[in-house]
C-alpha cells in the first residue's frame, strides 16, 4: 500500500501545477504517474521562547549554557546566514528569539565581551538590512557593525589554522571564534544537510578548508546530501568539526522549522490538484494568469519579498554531536515520505529560489544546482530515478545573472562551461586560478558577491546527479544556448519531453513527479 | 607570473591629478608666489576642462606646466608632505586590501598613472606595489621646465606601456589583470585577460556590465564630486 502523500494519477486526474522559475505551469501527466506531495506543516511550538530557555538549561551532552559562563570571558556567537530558510522567515526570525535569550543570559552572568559573526563561509556578505531581518532591530542597533558582522574568509589575519585531520584536511577557522573562551552557534536547520559539524567547520572556514571536501570527487560520493550517514561531504566535515571541537569550547543551538513556506492565500500550492476546492482552483488559475502577465521583477517580488510564516518545531542545544540527531529526526519527520521503487523518469518543477539567490535571480548555474544538485538529492537510501534515468525539469533557463551577487558566476558560465562540463577537469584546470582573482575576491570582501570559488562548488553540487542520470530534459527554456551549456536537452512541452524519454525507456516508462516546494524528500526502498 | 596593472586616481585614490598639484602650488617659497601660481592655474581652468574633455594627454601636459620653475629640491622635499597630506588620506578604504590580495597571489603589482613618478613611488612603497609607470617632469639645471618627458602616460598610451612592460618582464597578458575607474582607460583594460572596473564612471560601468567585467567598489559610500574650488577648500582646511 502506498503512502497517502504518494498519489497515482489516472485518466481523470486533473493536470498538475508545478513551478517553472517564478511562474506556475500546468502539466498533463500520463495515467500511472506517481506524484509525491510534501507533508503538511508540523505543529509549531506554542511557546518558542520557553522551548529555547528549556533547551539552554537542559542541553544534550553538555553543561547548561549558564554553567559555562563566567564574568569577563570572551564569547563569540556565530549565526547561520540568510541562505536559510527559504524564503526568509517572517519576523521574529527564530535566530532573533534565540539571540535575545542568549544575550540576556550572557549579560546576567557578567559577560560583556560578546561578538556576533554571520557564518557566511564563502557565501556573499549579508547586507545590513538582511542582518537586521534575522537578528531583529534591538540587537542590530546595539551591535551592528562593530560587534555583529559578516565572516571574512579572505582576511588572512582574521583566520587561524587549528590543525590537520588524519585525512589531511586543513582546519582553518575565523580567528575571533577560535580565540574566544566560548563559541555559541545559533543554527536554523532547514534540511538534513544543514547543521551538525557543518555549522562551525564550514560556516566559519575559508577556501583552504573547503578545498578538502568541496571537490567533484567528494560530491560524487554523496548518496545523498540529505542523508549524512551516506554523504562523503558530511563525513569529511565531521572529521574537521571534531578536530575543531577538540580545541574550541562550542555550545551548539539548533532549531527546526516546519514546512509552512506559503501563507494562507497560497497554501493550496502544496495540495493535490484533485482535492482543490472550487475557490482554490479559481485562485490557482488567477495566480497562474497573473504570474504570466507580470514582468519578471514583479514576479520575483511576489515570491521573495513576502517572508514565509514558518513555525518553529524544535530547539535543541548542547554538544554538537549529541544535539544533531534530534534535529535530524525533526527534519525527517517533516519532509520524509516513503516510496517503493525507483522510476525511469523523474519530473519536477524548478522554483524561483535556492539557498544562493535570496533577493536575487535564479541564474542558469543555480538552475543546475537545483536540478542535479538539490532536487535530485532529495532522497535517502536510493535515488528516486534509476541509474541512467531521465530527469525532466521545468524552467525558462533565462540567461540572466545578478551582477553584484553572482559576478563570478557570469564568467564561469560563459567562459568556462563552453570549455568543459567535466567537474574533474574544471577542478584541475581552472578552479585555483579563478578562485584567486583579486577583483572577484575584493567583490566578495567589500561588496556582496559570492567568492570566486563558489561557482565551481555549485557545479560540483550536481556531480552525483550528473553521474547517475542518463539525461536532463528541460521544458519551457526561453533559449537553446544555456540548456546546451548545462548539458540539457530541450523540449517545448511536457508531452514532447515524455516522448523523448520514451525513446530511452520504452513506451511505458515509470514516471515519478516530486511536487515541490514546499520541501519533500523521499525514503526510497528498492 | 602574472601582473596586476592599476590606474591610480579614482581607482585607488579619491583624488585626481589636481589635488597634489594644488598642494604644490599652495606651498611655494612665499604666499605671494603661491597666490600667483594658483591664480594662473585658475585662469587656465576653462582650458583645462576643455582639454580633459578632448584628450587626457593634453590635459596632463597643460596641468603639469604649472610646475614650471619649481626646483628639483622643492619637488622632492614636498613629496613626503604631499603624500601624507593628500595621497595617503585619499586612499579608498579597501584599496590596500585589493593590492595586498594581488601581492599575495604572487602578481607583480604595477601602478600605471598620469601622476608624477616621485609621488607614485611613495604610494607604491606604501601599498607594497612593485613597479611604477608614471609621468616624469623634465628637469633642466635642477628646475622643472613644465614639460613632461615622453612617453606621456595617459589614455591609449597606457595600453602600449603595459604591453611593453609585460613583454619585458615575460608576463602573458592573457593571465594579467588591470583595474581602472575611467572609460578613458578602456584601452588599458582591453589588453589584459582579466580587466576589472573599480569605482567606475557611468560609461565604464555600462561597458563592464556589457562585457561581464567585474565591477569592484572600494569606497564605503560614494562621495560627491568636487570641483576646483572644493578641492582648494579641502586642501586649505
ipTM of the prediction: 0.80
Q: Is the CB of residue A498 less than 8 Å from the CB of residue A392?
A: yes
Enumerate long-range contacts of A283-289, CB under 8 Å, 24 or more apart: A284/A17, A284/A24, A287/A24, A288/A17, A288/A23, A288/A24, A288/A25, A288/A26
Question: What cell numbers appear for B15 in the block?
Answer: 583624488
- Whether A442 sits inside 8 A of B101 (CB atoms) is yes
CA distance A499 to A493: 10
pLDDT for B172-218, tens place per residue? 999 999 999 999 999 999 999 999 999 999 999 999 999 989 999 99
Closest alpha carbon within chain A to B93: A446
pLDDT at A356 over 50: yes
Percent of chain A with pLDDT over 70: 100
Can you give the pLDDT at residue B63? 82
- For chain B, give the mean pLDDT: 88
Kindly report the backbone phi and psi dihedral angles of residue B72, in degrees, each rounded to the nearest multiple of 5, phi listed first: -60, -40
- Partners of B98 on chain A (C-beta within 8 Å) are 438-439, 442
- Partners of B4 on chain A (C-beta within 8 Å) are 438
For residues A517 and B31, which has the higher predicted lDDT (pLDDT)? A517
pLDDT at B237 over 50: no
pLDDT at A127 over 70: yes
- Whether A438 sits inside 8 A of B4 (CB atoms) is yes
Can you give the pLDDT at residue A98? 98
Can you give the pLDDT at residue A392? 98
What confidence category does residue A196 fall into, taking pLDDT thresholds of 50, 70 and 90?
very high
Best A442, A443, A444, A453 member to test B by mutation, with max B CBs in 10 Å, is: A442
Can you give the pLDDT at residue B226? 44
Closest alpha carbon within chain B to A413: B212
- Calculate the alpha carbon distances from B160 to A200, B153, B234 in Å: 49, 10, 35
Chain B nearest CA to A427, separation (Å): 18
Closest alpha carbon within chain A to B105: A436
Residue B216 has its nearest CB partner, among A414, A436, A439, at A439
Looking at residues B59-65, what average pLDDT do you find? 83
- Partners of A408 on chain B (C-beta within 8 Å) are 214
Q: Is the CB of residue B7 less than 8 Å from the CB of residue B155?
A: no
- Partners of B102 on chain A (C-beta within 8 Å) are 438
pLDDT at B230 over 60: no
Burial zone of B103 (CB within 10 Å; 0-12 exposed, 13-18 middle, 19+ buried): middle
Best A124, A149, A439 member to test B by mutation, with max B CBs in 10 Å, is: A439
CA distance B197 to A135: 34
CA distance A214 to A427: 10
* Contact pairs from chain A to chain B, CB under 8 Å: 52
Question: What cell numbers appear for B222 in the block?
Answer: 560614494
Chain A nearest CA to B225, separation (Å): 22
CA distance A495 to A492: 9
Residue A410 has its nearest CB partner, among B102, B104, B212, at B212
Please state the pTM of the whole predicted model: 0.91
Per DSSP, A450 falls in state P
Is some CB atom of chain A closer than 8 A to the CB atom of B8? no
Question: Is residue A195 classed as helix, strand or coil in its secondary structure?
Answer: coil
List, in order, residues 6 or more apart from B110 with CB less than 8 Å away: B3, B4, B5, B6, B129, B130, B131, B132, B133, B162, B165
- Whether B218 sits inside 8 A of A442 (CB atoms) is yes
For residues B189 and B227, which has the higher predicted lDDT (pLDDT)? B189
CA distance A388 to A346: 11
Looking at residues B97-106, what average pLDDT do you find? 95
- The candidate with the shortest Cα–Cα distance to A215, out of A470, A406, A453, A519, is A453
Can you give the pLDDT at residue A1? 64
Is some CB atom of chain A closer than 8 A to the CB atom of B38? no
Can you give the pLDDT at residue A83? 87
pLDDT at B77 over 50: yes
Can you give the pLDDT at residue B221? 45
Can you give the pLDDT at residue B220? 60
Widest distance between CA atoms in chain B: 53
Residue B214 has its nearest CB partner, among A154, A436, A443, at A443
Interface of A with B (CB under 8 A): 154, 156, 403-404, 407-408, 410-411, 414, 436-443, 445-447, 449
Question: Is residue A345 classed as helix, strand or coil in its secondary structure?
Answer: strand
Closest alpha carbon within chain B to A407: B214
- Whether A403 sits inside 8 A of B98 (CB atoms) is no
Best B128, B172, B195, B214 member to test A by mutation, with max A CBs in 10 Å, is: B214
User: Quick one: how far is CA A180 from the chain centroid?
Assistant: 29
What confidence category does residue A346 fall into, taking pLDDT thresholds of 50, 70 and 90?
very high
List, in order, residues 6 or more apart from A145 with CB less than 8 Å away: A128
Identify the residue whose cell numbers are 542545544. A317
- Calculate the alpha carbon distances from B76 to A6, B25, B89 in Å: 82, 14, 19
A254: left (phi over 0), alpha (psi -120 to 50) or beta: beta
- Whether B94 sits inside 8 A of A411 (CB atoms) is no
Closest alpha carbon within chain B to A415: B212
Is some CB atom of chain A closer than 8 A to the CB atom of B94? yes
Element (H, E) at B147: strand B143-148
- Whether B98 sits inside 8 A of A447 (CB atoms) is no
What confidence category does residue B54 fall into, taking pLDDT thresholds of 50, 70 and 90?
confident
Chain B nearest CA to A409, separation (Å): 10
Residue A442 has its nearest CB partner, among B97, B107, B212, at B97
Q: Is the CB of residue A184 less than 8 Å from the CB of residue A65?
A: yes
Can you give the pLDDT at residue A267? 84
- Whether A447 sits inside 8 A of B209 (CB atoms) is no
- Whether B105 sits inside 8 A of A438 (CB atoms) is yes
Q: Is the CB of residue A196 less than 8 Å from the CB of residue A91?
A: no
CA distance A462 to A216: 9
- Whether A445 sits inside 8 A of B217 (CB atoms) is no
What confidence category does residue B222 fall into, taking pLDDT thresholds of 50, 70 and 90?
very low
pLDDT at B86 over 80: yes
pLDDT for B25-50, tens place per residue? 777 777 877 788 788 888 888 887 88
Chain A nearest CA to B13, separation (Å): 16
- Looking only at the bridges linking them, the beta strands covering B108-116 and A471-475 are unpaired
Can you give the pLDDT at residue A28? 95
Amino acid at each position: 500500500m502506498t503512502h497517502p502523500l504518494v498519489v497515482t494519477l489516472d485518466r481523470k486526474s486533473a493536470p498538475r501545477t508545478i513551478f517553472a522559475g517564478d511562474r506556475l505551469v500546468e502539466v498533463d501527466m500520463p495515467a500511472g504517474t506517481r506524484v509525491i506531495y510534501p507533508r503538511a506543516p508540523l505543529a509549531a511550538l506554542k511557546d518558542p521562547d520557553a522551548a529555547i530557555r528549556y533547551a539552554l538549561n537542559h542541553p544534550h551532552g553538555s553543561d547548561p549554557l549558564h554553567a559555562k559562563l563566567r564574568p569577563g570571558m570572551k564569547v563569540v556567537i556565530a549565526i547561520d546566514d540568510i541562505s536559510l530558510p527559504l524564503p526568509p522567515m517572517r519576523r521574529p526570525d527564530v535566530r532573533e528569539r534565540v539571540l535575545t535569550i542568549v544575550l540576556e543570559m550572557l549579560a546576567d552572568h557578567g559577560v560583556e565581551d560578546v561578538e556576533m559573526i554571520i557564518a557566511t563561509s564563502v557565501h556573499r556578505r549579508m547586507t545590513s538590512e538582511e542582518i537586521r531581518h534575522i537578528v531583529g532591530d534591538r540587537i542590530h542597533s546595539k551591535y551592528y557593525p562593530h560587534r555583529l558582522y559578516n565572516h571574512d574568509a579572505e582576511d588572512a589575519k582574521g583566520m587561524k589554522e587549528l590543525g590537520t585531520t588524519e585525512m589531511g584536511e586543513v582546519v582553518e577557522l575565523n580567528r575571533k571564534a577560535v580565540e574566544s573562551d566560548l563559541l555559541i552557534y545559533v543554527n536554523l536547520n532547514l534540511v538534513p544537510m544543514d547543521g551538525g559539524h557543518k555549522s562551525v567547520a564550514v560556516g566559519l572556514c575559508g577556501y583552504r578548508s573547503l578545498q578538502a571536501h568541496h571537490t567533484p570527487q567528494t560530491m560524487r560520493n554523496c548518496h545523498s546530501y540529505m542523508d549524512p550517514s551516506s554523504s562523503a561531504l558530511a563525513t569529511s566535515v565531521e572529521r574537521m568539526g571534531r578536530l575543531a571541537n577538540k580545541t574550541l569550547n562550542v555550545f551548539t543551538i539548533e532549531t527546526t522549522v516546519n514546512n509552512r513556506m506559503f501563507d494562507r492565500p497560497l497554501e493550496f500550492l502544496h495540495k493535490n490538484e484533485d482535492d482543490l476546492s472550487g475557490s482554490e482552483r479559481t485562485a490557482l488559475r488567477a495566480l497562474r494568469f497573473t504570474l504570466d502577465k507580470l514582468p519578471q521583477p514583479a514576479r520575483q517580488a511576489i515570491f521573495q519579498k513576502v517572508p514565509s510564516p514558518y513555525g518553529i518545531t524544535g530547539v535543541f542545544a548542547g554538544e554538537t554531536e549529541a544535539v544533531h540527531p534530534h534535529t535530524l529526526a525533526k527534519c525527517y519527520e517533516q519532509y520524509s515520505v516513503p516510496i517503493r521503487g525507483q522510476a525511469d523518469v523523474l519530473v519536477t518543477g524548478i522554483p524561483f529560489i535556492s539557498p544562493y539567490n535570496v533577493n536575487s535571480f535564479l541564474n542558469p548555474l543555480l538552475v543546475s544546482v537545483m536540478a542535479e544538485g538539490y532536487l535530485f538529492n532529495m532522497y535517502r537510501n536510493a535515488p528516486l530515478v534509476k541509474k541512467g534515468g531521465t530527469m525532466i525539469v521545468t524552467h525558462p533557463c533565462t540567461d540572466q545573472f545578478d551582477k553584484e551577487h553572482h559576478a563570478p558566476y557570469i564568467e564561469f558560465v560563459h567562459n568556462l562551461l563552453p570549455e568543459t562540463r567535466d567537474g574533474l577537469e574544471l577542478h584541475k584546470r581552472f578552479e585555483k586560478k579563478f578562485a584567486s582573482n583579486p577583483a572577484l575576491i575584493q567583490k566578495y570582501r567589500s561588496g556582496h558577491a559570492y567568492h570566486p570559488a563558489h561557482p565551481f562548488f555549485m557545479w560540483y553540487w550536481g556531480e552525483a546527479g550528473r553521474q547517475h542520470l542518463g539525461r536532463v530534459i528541460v521544458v519551457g527554456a526561453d533559449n537553446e544556448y544555456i540548456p546546451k551549456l548545462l548539458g540539457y536537452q530541450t523540449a517545448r512541452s511536457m508531452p514532447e519531453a515524455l516522448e523523448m524519454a520514451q525513446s530511452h525507456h520504452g513506451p511505458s516508462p515509470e514516471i515519478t513527479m516530486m511536487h515541490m516546494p514546499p520541501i519533500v524528500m523521499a525514503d526510497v526502498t528498492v | 607570473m602574472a601582473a596586476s596593472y592599476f590606474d591610480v586616481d579614482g581607482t585607488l585614490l579619491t583624488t585626481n591629478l589636481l589635488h597634489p598639484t594644488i598642494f604644490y602650488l599652495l606651498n611655494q617659497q612665499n604666499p605671494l608666489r603661491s597666490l600667483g601660481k594658483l591664480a594662473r592655474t585658475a585662469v587656465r581652468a576653462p582650458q583645462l576642462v576643455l582639454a580633459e574633455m578632448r584628450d587626457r594627454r593634453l590635459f596632463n601636459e597643460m596641468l603639469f606646466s604649472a610646475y614650471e620653475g619649481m626646483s628639483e629640491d622643492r619637488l622632492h622635499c614636498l613629496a613626503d608632505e604631499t603624500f601624507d597630506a593628500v595621497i595617503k588620506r585619499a586612499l579608498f578604504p579597501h584599496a590596500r586590501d585589493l593590492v595586498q590580495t594581488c601581492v599575495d597571489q604572487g602578481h607583480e603589482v604595477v601602478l600605471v598613472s598620469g601622476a608624477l613618478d616621485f609621488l607614485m613611488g611613495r604610494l607604491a612603497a606604501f601599498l607594497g606595489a612593485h613597479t611604477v609607470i608614471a609621468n616624469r617632469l623634465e628637469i633642466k639645471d635642477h628646475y622643472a621646465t613644465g614639460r613632461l618627458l615622453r612617453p606621456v602616460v595617459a589614455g591609449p598610451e597606457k595600453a602600449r606601456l603595459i604591453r611593453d612592460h609585460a613583454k619585458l618582464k615575460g608576463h602573458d597578458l592573457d593571465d594579467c589583470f588591470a583595474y581602472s575607474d575611467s572609460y578613458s582607460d578602456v584601452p588599458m583594460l582591453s589588453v589584459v585577460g582579466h580587466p576589472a572596473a573599480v569605482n567606475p564612471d557611468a560609461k565604464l560601468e555600462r561597458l563592464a556590465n556589457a562585457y561581464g567585467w567585474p565591477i569592484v567598489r572600494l569606497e564605503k559610500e560614494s562621495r560627491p564630486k568636487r570641483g576646483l574650488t572644493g578641492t582648494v577648500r579641502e586642501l586649505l582646511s
